[in-house]
Amino acid sequence: MTCRPAALAAWLVRVRTVLVLLAVAIITTTAILLTDQPWRTHVRPPASTKPPLRDRWHPDNRLLDKLAIIFPVNNNTDMQFYRNTWFSDYLYPVCDWAEPGCKIVCNETSTYRTLDKKTFCFSREMKKYHDKEFFIKLDDDSFVDRDYVVSLMKAYTGWKRPVYISDHTRRGDRTNPSIDGILYGNGKFYMFNYRLVKCVDVDLKYKGSRNEDSVFGAMVRSGCGEPNVLYVQEDDDYIWHKSYKNKNKYIDLSYIKNH
């Protein structure tokens, strides 16, 4: 068989064409694999079957984003219950030691008699919450109506004075001038603004262990001055303490009967 130059040239052209096509195929495949499959970004993810839990643009919800519910917990606190209520997004559990879900950890074992120390602990922490405008201190056997809280926030947003909303009483304490004659809010619920948080005196001194709510009232008087504070009487129709009874519903919110 003779090898003619024209046939050899044609064969070489075919081989070159095949090699070029092969190279283009390899380069294209590599490029596609390396570029993170751009055509896929046009595919919409399947729509979620779950509706959003809350509409974050609703004016009430935007207002509530400025709220922190300070919630001292102990081993008898039913966190499951509170996490399943409207509180859950705003809850700042105050714990002795670090545990899942705790927002404020005091690093000190507390008892019923040392709750005043826990009050100093969360008051110091609250001063760091510059992005909040309102605070609620709630007992773990209390519940408060959401619309009522929203209405209070609407009424006192931007208020120039420290605002302290609760059921206030006066108490004498002859051994402690810093607490004597103090006007303070019942611990089941008190709500206040950041202006009050800024001025509360977290270095208040007194002798013995005292009721944590009267101590908070004393921190307010010492740091903010009673005449400067707007004391607002709460509406107990919207605050349920120890039990809730309405129509055919009855909920016992307390754990230890005598507290």
Residues that bind ligand NAG (CB under 6 A): 73-75, 95-97, 105-107, 121
Helix (H, G, I), strand (E, B) or coil at 250: strand
Minimum CB distance to ligand NAG smaller for 115 or for 183: 115
Closest contact distance (angstroms) between CB of 241 and ligand NAG is: 21
CB of 70 to ligand NAG, least distance (A): 13
Q: Measured from the CB of residue 179, what is the shortest distance to ligand NAG in angstroms?
A: 23
Nearer to ligand NAG, 114 or 186 (CB): 114
Radius of gyration of the chain (CA): 32
Tokens of 84: 């399943």
Give the three-class secondary structure for 231.
strand
User: Which residue, 9 or 98, has its beta carbon nearer to ligand NAG?
Assistant: 98
d(CA 119, CA 111): 12
Specify whether the CB–CB gap between 212 and 139 falls below 8 A. no
Residues 6+ apart with CB under 8 A from 149: 64, 67, 136, 191
Query: What is the smallest separation between the CB atom of 89 and ligand NAG, expressed in angstroms?
Result: 21
Nearer to ligand NAG, 202 or 232 (CB): 202
Give how far Cα 224 sits from Cα of 23, 161, 198, Å: 79, 9, 9
In terms of CB distance, is 2 or 107 closer to ligand NAG? Answer: 107
Rounded to 5 degrees, what are φ and ψ at 186?
A: -60, 130
Which residue, 96 or 213, has its beta carbon nearer to ligand NAG? 96
Sheet containing strand 91-95, strands side by side: 104-105, 91-95, 67-72, 134-138, 189-193, 163-166, 230-233
Q: Least separation, in Å, of the C-beta of 204 and ligand NAG?
A: 17
Task: Name the token pair of 4.
Answer: 């003619």
**Calpha distance 8→258 (Å, rounded):** 107
Q: How far is the CB of 112 from ligand NAG (least distance, A)?
A: 11
- Could you report how far apart the first and last alpha carbons of the chain are, in Å? 112
Nearer to ligand NAG, 73 or 239 (CB): 73
Q: Could you give the CA distance from residue 159 to residue 233 in angstroms, rounded to a whole number?
A: 16
As measured in angstroms, the least distance from the Cβ of 61 to ligand NAG is: 29
